[in-house]
């Protein structure tokens, strides 16, 4: 069997190929990732609790599927984690607060049911290192600090702190998060992984969260393809969420592979208009000179000012949105002067710096 650390970083497609080739089994994977969690998690505190019995029971079922040559489900034998704000039947769910500590739900949230029905192996619950998910700092009274995987004591983002850290630390490929005001995006950014806040209603959210109808349920992963597969498993309407979209799940991973980035514009900001970034020169070099894409496609890369997008928010939302550097410059001028005048705002990521957009090599 391959090294346990290597197993923890394998993607969904890689695991499926190894299962089909009988070079690795779901039981071996579940044991390997659980062993890695036991060894690594004391340093980062990403897991609220592990569920080895659940994981191994699911692993044995998936192993029989591959041994018999049966049709595998979308996520057959794939390790998953669930954020501790999502109810899991028979598995303690504390909602990151002493008020609910010790709660044993008698039902799974829809997203949990769908991941398990798709063949996922539940490794455990990740920390929502913010009480009730209500802050952007990775610390909660009942779980303590969830450490950034790149530096102990540094903020890992919140509230899906554990999911982001778990993805970065190789606790398997798929980790569920939720986002009302950045709770997927912040942990993904801080831990250096991929996070997706899906279109509102794309994934059913139940029960209604403490921020009312603002929560979006979505994936945190190391690979975009894995997030696409996870989204395919959890998307679609559900009777428990009246805001869920009626559109059926699509082949998001297939669409991703067929996507053509040629001619697309990619905008980046070095400082969000107010905050400097460590390694600023390295960022400029990577984005401006060495930006590439694993699929050998060509995209236009340029730096944008966050003031352009801020102007679009602060000024009337229903004004015409058009492109053009002149409009972008005017928008920033008005914003800086504190003026609120009718204006067509440019928010299409056009470069507003001296250097033009460049084709990535």
Name the residue range of residue 215's domain.
Answer: 4-258
Q: Is 257 a catalytic residue?
A: no
Q: Which residues contact 85 (CB under 8 A, 6 or more apart)?
A: 93, 95, 96, 128, 132, 133, 159, 178, 209
Active-site residue, selected from the candidate residues 25, 62, 143, 159: 159
Active-site residue, selected from the candidate residues 83, 128, 138, 244: 83
Are residues 245 and 270 both part of a single domain? Answer: no
| CATH, residue 214 | 3.90.1300.10
Q: Which residues contact 228 (CB under 8 A, 6 or more apart)?
A: 252, 253, 255, 256
Cα-Cα end-to-end distance for the chain: 39
- Residue 144's nearest CA partner among 36, 43, 39 is 43
Are residues 108 and 170 both part of a single domain? Answer: yes
| pLDDT score recorded for residue 62 | 98
Q: Is 125 a catalytic residue?
A: no
Active-site residue, selected from the candidate residues 183, 191, 209, 305: 183
Q: Is 183 a catalytic residue?
A: yes
Report the distance separating Cα 214 and Cα 236, nearest Å: 18
Q: Which of 258, 274, 304 is a domain's end point?
A: 258
Are residues 337 and 238 both part of a single domain? Answer: no
Digit-coded pLDDT (tens) for 48-99: 999 999 999 999 999 999 999 999 999 999 999 999 999 999 999 999 999 9
Digit-coded pLDDT (tens) for 209-245: 877 788 899 999 999 999 999 999 999 999 999 999 9
Q: Which of 230, 258, 286 is a domain's end point?
A: 258
Confidence (pTM): 0.81
Are residues 242 and 340 both part of a single domain? Answer: no
Ramachandran angles phi, psi of 102, nearest 5°: 95, 0
């Amino acid at each position: 069997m391959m090294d346990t650390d290597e197993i923890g970083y394998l993607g969904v497609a890689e695991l499926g190929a190894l299962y089909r080739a009988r070079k690795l089994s779901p039981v071996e994977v579940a044991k390997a990732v659980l062993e890695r969690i036991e060894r690594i998690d004391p340093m980062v505190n990403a897991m609220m609790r592990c569920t080895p019995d659940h994981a191994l029971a699911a692993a044995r079922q998936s192993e029989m599927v591959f041994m018999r040559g049966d049709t595998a489900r979308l996520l057959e034998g794939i390790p998953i984690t669930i954020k501790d704000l999502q109810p899991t039947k028979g598995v303690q769910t504390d909602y990151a607060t002493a008020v609910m500590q010790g709660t044993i739900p008698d039902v799974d949230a829809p997203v949990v049911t769908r991941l398990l029905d798709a063949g996922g192996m539940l490794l455990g619950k990740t920390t929502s290192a913010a009480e009730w998910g209500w802050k952007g700092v990775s610390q909660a009274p009942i779980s303590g600090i969830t450490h950034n995987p790149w530096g102990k004591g540094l903020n890992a983002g919140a509230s899906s702190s554990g999911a982001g850290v778990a993805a970065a630390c190789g606790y398997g490929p798929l980790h569920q998060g939720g986002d009302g005001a950045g709770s997927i995006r912040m942990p993904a950014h801080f831990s250096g992984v991929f996070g997706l806040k899906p279109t509102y209603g794309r994934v059913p959210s139940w029960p209604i969260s403490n921020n009312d109808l603002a929560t979006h349920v979505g994936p945190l992963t190391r690979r975009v393809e894995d997030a696409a597969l996870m989204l395919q498993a959890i998307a679609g309407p559900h009777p428990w969420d009246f805001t869920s979209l009626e559109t059926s799940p699509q082949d998001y991973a297939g669409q991703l592979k067929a996507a053509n980035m040629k001619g697309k514009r990619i905008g980046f900001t070095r400082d969000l208009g107010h905050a400097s970034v460590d390694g600023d020169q390295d960022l400029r070099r990577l984005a401006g000179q060495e930006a590439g894409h694993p699929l050998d496609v060509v995209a236009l890369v340029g730096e944008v000012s966050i003031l352009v997008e801020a102007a679009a928010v602060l000024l009337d939302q229903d004004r015409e949105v058009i492109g053009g550097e002149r409009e972008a410059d005017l928008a920033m001028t008005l914003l800086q002067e504190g003026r609120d005048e009718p204006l067509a705002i440019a928010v299409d990521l056009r470069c507003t710096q001296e250097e033009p957009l460049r084709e990535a090599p």
